[in-house]
Structure 1
Amino acid sequence: MPLSALVPVAVSVLALAAPPAHPPAAGLVLSLTDAAGRVSTVHLECHPDGGDHPDRARACAALTTVDGDFDRIPDAGTVCPMIYSPVSARAAGHWRGKPVLYARTYDNKCAAGARSGGVFQF
């Protein structure tokens, strides 16, 4: 086989062997559990944004402003109904090399989304 025929094949093989894109700087599994025991779970990746969170850009932005510290996320100021229907929110994973384990109970699903800057709005 002539060398001119091998060059395109070699280039194709090298392109496939290129290193994968950088893994996200943050990867979290987020869950909400209601009083009946129903669980909703999503995955969130940040830097670059990814996962199946319905508003990953907003959730990542909220976490980025506080460097992944859920306790420092400011309240979004959303008015929620005063209906007590508690949900337990949990986050587990990593944020820029630091492990993340977070758990909090909110009065209802609206409060979980509003008090977490949209992180638990799913």
Structure 2
Amino acid sequence: MALIPFAACLLSLGCLAPAQPPASTLQLTTHDTAGRTGSVVLTCDPVGGTHPQRDKACAVLSAAGGDFSRINARHQACTLIYAPVEATAIGTWRGKPVSFKTTYANRCEADRDSDEVFAF
């Protein structure tokens, strides 16, 4: 009779391990007024992709709950030279759609204000 509880467990799916959160995959792009464009893929949960600092970028986004507007800027002085950098992020964060777009005053501010998520 020991097999009946096991069979019941399998039939109800109640004995399976909890589902892992969906992976987070983002296409990050920057474009500046000099015509330079950068684009990387960032994957978190598990960490991967082509971002040069993917471990840190995933940690920053995890701390912000995947919300780019909640990223804490790091302490760094930047020049006041206006050379706009447009930054976008498209994809999913733990199963939820992400569509983020902003313009930073210059590359230094883009790196600082995104805590290096857009540093590529």
TM-score, normalization by structure 1: 0.78
Partner of residue 67, structure 2:
69
Which structure 2 segments of 5+ residues have no match? 1-19
Partner of residue 110, structure 1:
108
Partner of residue 52, structure 1:
50
Partner of residue 14, structure 1:
none
CA RMSD of aligned residues (A): 1.6
Amino acid paired to 1:106 = Y
Identity %: 50
**Number of residue pairs matched?**
101
Which structure 1 segments of 5+ residues have no match? 1-21
Q: Is the 8 A contact 2:72 2:114 kept in 1?
A: yes
Pairwise CA distance, 1:24: 6.5
- Off by >3 Å, runs of 4+ in structure 1: none
CA–CA distance in 2 between the matches of 1:40 and 1:23?
29
TM-score, normalization by structure 2: 0.79
Pairwise CA distance, 1:48: 1.1
